[in-house]
Amino acid sequence: MSDHPRSQSLEAAGVKFIRVLWCDNANIIRGKAIHIGALSHHCEQGVGISAAQQAMPVMYDAPVAETGLGPVGEVRLIPDWSTLNVLPYAPSHARVMGDMVKDGIAWSFCPRHFLKRMVADASSLGLEVMAAFENEFYLLRPTSDGIGVEPADNTVFASTLAMDSNLKVIDEIALALVAQAMPVEQYYPESGPGQHEISIRYTQAMSAADQQIAFRETVRAIAMRHGLKASFLPKIFADKAGSGCHLHLSLWQDGKNIVSDGSKVGGLSQIAQAFIAGILNHLPALMALTTPCTNSYRRIRPHFWSGAFRCWGIDNREAAVRVPTDPAVKSPTNFEFKTVDASANPYLALGAVIAAGLDGVKTHLELGDPVAVDPGYLSESERNLRGIDLLPTNLGDAIAHLTRDDILLTALGSDLANAYLAVRKAEWEAMKNMELEDEVKLLLERY
């Protein structure tokens, strides 16, 4: 038994193991657990992991050679104790997020460190980015033959029957989220049968990314306790709604929300306009980080409210960036980036979005006019006249855009950028010709 103060408080709470988590370039959540009795030996120095962990694709546990990472090299996963939570669904375990450190300094391949750097870049401009990931997910049960899965219910959008059918599991998820300091704001059944959405309150960018990891972990674990599988995979069923993970963002300065200043352009401030313009300018490349799975592009289609066009609009759910109105205030307080799903590593996705937005701010990019129609119903010539582009329709195209985007590559840094691209290229080559059924079989429980 350790005499370390943290060990004593955790032991008093009945904790036996502390899971130290990381999220790799394929967005697989992984962890190593420290036994409570050994915590004093690992409290400051964490646990060791192979450098090859940042070279793993989603398909299997073997490093992609092109990353340059292999069996040689040890990285320390250092607990960020500010993220510590006892797990409500597994009270003998606690969870803490880890930072990758090599030779005593932040490792250049660490996704969490990347987001820290982007937060610092925003701060150098006097900006603080607040964010919230808005998750959709399916609750699934085994089919009668025990081989496949099917939706846990057969309902439509906002069905109260779906609420009643899934009352116990949803309530338990909400209680667990709140217990981990993730205030729940809204819940409703989504369009797909068995599909649900739970939104939590916005927070600082780093906390939002940490909470996205904890959110996925919590939903999946509690669903499993109820004999269900929860999956955030973007497209599970060909003929049913896909699952997005919209990213809500706001910009703050000196403790004040500065998204709006009463401007004529949708009520957006000049700095918010430039930030959104930066996102749209880099969007084809950003998609390799925000919709980074072959399966993502089965969801991103016109007329599916998935952000398939490079444009923005006020209350326009077909635009890649939506500026929502709020009857409680006279002007917008946040904007929603829709071309995102939960196959994205949240540290990389949010960090890259911040990098793109800051580029818009630094270069004073101008935001075009808002789009007030479904761009999918405009002719190609009409879209061209209005500067509206159809976004990449597959991961290979998005990867190609990222390889040419010097701003995003520089933000990522050469080590992380090269490893990330190598992993995603390997996934694209392995899965680009897969049928949906095979893709789902591989990815359903990854995400």
List, as one string, the DSSP characters of 98-129: EEEEETTEE-TT-HHHHHHHHHHHHHHTT-EE
Distance of CA 294 to the CA centre of its chain: 16
1: pLDDT strictly greater than 50: no
Take residue 71 and report the two structure tokens written for it: 């069996």
What average pLDDT does this structure show over 307-324?
94
288: pLDDT strictly greater than 80: yes
Q: How far apart are CA 27 and CA 23, in angstroms?
A: 6
The band of 417, judged by pLDDT with boundaries at 50, 70 and 90, is very high
User: Which pairs count as long-range contacts for 428-436, CB under 8 Å and 24+ apart, including other chains?
Assistant: 428/294, 428/395, 428/396, 428/399, 430/57, 430/59, 431/59, 431/294, 432/294, 432/394, 432/395, 432/396, 434/294, 436/235, 436/238, 436/295, 436/298
Task: Please enumerate in sequence order all residues whose Cβ is within 8 A of that of 246, keeping only pairs 6 or more positions apart, or say none.
Answer: 133, 134, 336, 337, 338, 340
What average pLDDT does this structure show over 316-345?
91
Exposed e or buried b per residue across 234-247, where buried means at least 16 C-beta atoms within 10 angstroms of its C-beta: bbbbeeebbbbbbb
| pTM score, whole prediction | 0.96
The band of 179, judged by pLDDT with boundaries at 50, 70 and 90, is very high
Q: Three-state SS for 141?
A: strand
**415 torsion bin: left (phi>0), alpha (psi -120 to 50), beta (else):** alpha
The pLDDT score that the predictor gives to residue 403 is: 98
- Dihedral pair phi/psi, residue 21, rounded to 5°: -105, 150
Take residue 359 and report the two structure tokens written for it: 């580029």
328: pLDDT strictly greater than 80: no
5: pLDDT strictly greater than 70: no
Q: Which of the given ranges, 269-283, 322-336, 378-392, has the highest pLDDT on average?
A: 269-283
More confident residue, 145 or 282: 282
Take residue 7 and report the two structure tokens written for it: 């060990």
Q: Kindly state the helix (H) or strand (E) to which residue 289 belongs, with its residue range.
A: helix 270-290
262: pLDDT strictly greater than 80: no
Residues 282, 356 contacting (CB under 8 angstroms): yes
Q: Mean pLDDT in the chain? A: 95
The pLDDT score that the predictor gives to residue 4 is: 57
Q: How far apart are CA 42 and CA 32, in angstroms?
A: 11
Percent of the chain with pLDDT over 90: 87
What average pLDDT does this structure show over 89-108?
97
